[in-house]
Structure 1
Amino acid sequence: MKAPQQLQDALVELLGDARLASCALPGTDLALWLIDGENMDRAFSPEETRRILHEPPYWSFCWASGLALARYLAEHPQWVEGKRVLDFGAGSGVAGIAAIKAGAREVVACDLDPLALAASRANALLNGVELKYSADFFAEADRFDLILVADVLYDRANLPLLDQFLSRGREALVADSRVRDFQHPLYRRIEMLEAMTLPDLAEPEEFRHVSLYHARRRP
Structure 2
Amino acid sequence: MSPLADSLVDPADSPPHDPRLGAFGARLVLRRPPLCPEFELWLLSDEVELEAGCAELADGEAPPFWAFCWGAGQALARFVLDHPERVRGKRIVDLGTGSGIVALAAARAGARTVLAVDLDPVARHVTTLNARHNGLEIETASIAPEGWDLLLAADVLYENGLRDWILGEARREGPILLADPQRTGTPRLDFPVLDRFEATTFPDVDSPRKSGILQEIPCIRERRAAGPRSSGDPTGRTSRPGDGAARDPLIDPRLARDPERSTNERKAARP
Which range, TM-score by smaller chain?
0.7 to 0.9
Select the residue among 208, 211, 214 that pairs with 2:213: 211
- Is 1:190 the equivalent of 2:194? yes
Q: Is the 8 A contact 1:11 1:19 kept in 2?
A: no
Identical amino acids, percent of aligned pairs: 33
Q: 1:83: which partner in 2?
A: 90
* Residues 141-161 of structure 1: per-residue CA shift (max 9 Å, x gap): 2x2111000122245653333
Distance of 1:63 and 1:133 partners within structure 2: 19
Counterpart of 2:126, as a letter, is A
Residue correspondences, number: 208
Task: Letter of the 1:69 partner, please give it.
Answer: L
CA contact (8 A) 2:35 2:75 kept: no
Tell me, what secondary structure is at the counterpart of 2:76?
Answer: helix
Q: Distance in 2 between matches of 1:199 and 1:44?
A: 14
User: 1:52-131 counterparts in 2 under 5 A?
Assistant: 55-131=62-138
Query: Which whole-Å CA distance do the structure 2 matches of 1:47 and 1:68 have between them?
Result: 27
Q: Distance in 1 between matches of 2:99 and 2:21?
A: 14
Q: Secondary structure of the equivalent of 1:56?
A: coil
- Give the unaligned 5+ runs of structure 2: 2-10, 222-271
- 2: CA distance between counterparts of 1:112 and 1:192? 28
The corresponding residue for 2:205 is 201
Which sections of structure 1, spanning at least 5 residues, go unmatched?
none
Return the offset for 1:89: 0.8
Please name the residue that 2:41 is paired with. 32
Distance 1:43 1:58 in 2: 11
Question: What is the alpha-carbon distance in structure 1 between the residues aligned to residue 59 and residue 159 of structure 2?
Answer: 16
Tell me: CA distance 1:149–1:111, structure 2 relative to 1, closer, same or farther (3 Å): same
One-letter amino acid matched to 1:23: R
TM-score (norm: length of structure 1)? 0.82
Deviation at 1:34, TM superposition (A): 0.6
Shift of the 150–11 alpha-carbon distance from structure 1 to 2, 3 Å rule, reads farther
CA distance in 2, matches of 1:6, 1:86: 29
**What CA distance in whole angstroms lies between the structure 1 residues aligned with 2:106 and 2:54?**
38
Deviation at 1:91, TM superposition (A): 1.0
1:210 maps to amino acid: G
Indicate the SS of the match to 1:10. helix
SS at match of 2:114: strand
Verify the 8 A CA contact 2:15 2:21 in the aligned structure 1: no
- Distance apart, 1:48 and its partner CA: 1.6
RMSD: 2.8
Matches within 5 A, 1:4-15: 4=15, 10-12=21-23
Deviation of 1:120 (Å): 1.1
More strand by share: 1
Is 1:20 aligned to 2:28, yes or no? yes
Partners of 2:154 and 2:178 within 8 A in 1: yes
Matches of 2:199 and 2:138, distance apart in 1:
24
Conserved 8 A contact 1:66-1:94: yes
Q: CA deviation at 1:103?
A: 1.0
Name the amino acid aligned to 1:166. A
Letter in 2 for 1:115: V
Shift, 1:167, TM fit: 5.5
